Amino acid sequence: MGMVSNSKAVSPAKTPSKGRQRNENLKGGLPFLAPALILFGVFVVFPMIKAFQLSFVSMSETILVAISAVSLVIVVIIMAVMANTMSMTARERLSEYATLKALGFPPGFIVKLLFGESLVIALLGGGLGMALTLPIAAAFAKSVGTLFPVFLVSDLTMALQLAASVVVGLVAAAWPAWKMSRISIVNGLRHVA
């Protein structure tokens, strides 16, 4: 037994889709919507961007203090490694320094020898670091774009790098130079065998 329906079939071509119906309803509203979006951007979005930039600038001082602290720790670690290197070098050359003293060289000559070697090593490392500073800084400035609109390495920074390498060289050689200048010839020559 079949059922008979009284409803008329509507063709799909004559029924408007929901998307098309929404577009037809918005046709008259778009001219009023554009100024509202512009005002939303000017009064809501732009101030939010400005507030973010100001908060980033206020945090930049904290970031600079942290970078300075990390830099100081790195310099101290480099100084310790350099002092260890110079102490090992002085221990290995103990017999050579004793021989120099036996030949009549004063203790000041041995001190100058150790300080000279330490300064050469430190200045070579510092020079390499200074040579790599500008290309690395340029690559960093290019990668961060507008976060740091002005990112320059100052002459003061380069001078501080040079001064740090000289200080590291002098401090690293101080203990071994003092110890080797006070060594007795007999104790130093015992290490030959």
Q: The whole model's pTM is what? A: 0.62
175 belongs to a structural domain: yes
pLDDT (tens digit per residue) in 46-87: 677 777 777 776 777 788 888 889 988 998 898 889 889 888
Total domain count, the chain: 1
Q: How many residues does the chain have?
A: 193
Q: Give the pLDDT score at 18.
A: 57
pLDDT digits (tens, 9 = 90+) for 78-131: 888 988 988 898 888 888 888 888 899 999 999 999 999 999 999 999 999 999
Confidence of residue 146 (pLDDT cuts 50, 70, 90): confident
The reply to whether 46 falls in a domain is no
Spatial distance between the Cα atoms of 113 and 162, rounded to a whole number of angstroms: 21
Q: By the 8 A CB rule, do 80 and 168 touch? A: no
pLDDT digits (tens, 9 = 90+) for 8-25: 555 555 555 555 555 555
Q: Give pLDDT, residue 131.
A: 93
Q: Name the residue range of residue 113's domain.
A: 77-192
Q: How far is CA 161 from CA 56, 122, 129, 143, 178, in A?
A: 28, 11, 8, 24, 26
Residue 92 is assigned to a structural domain of this protein:
yes
Strand, coil or helix: 4 = coil
Say if 42 falls within a structural domain: no
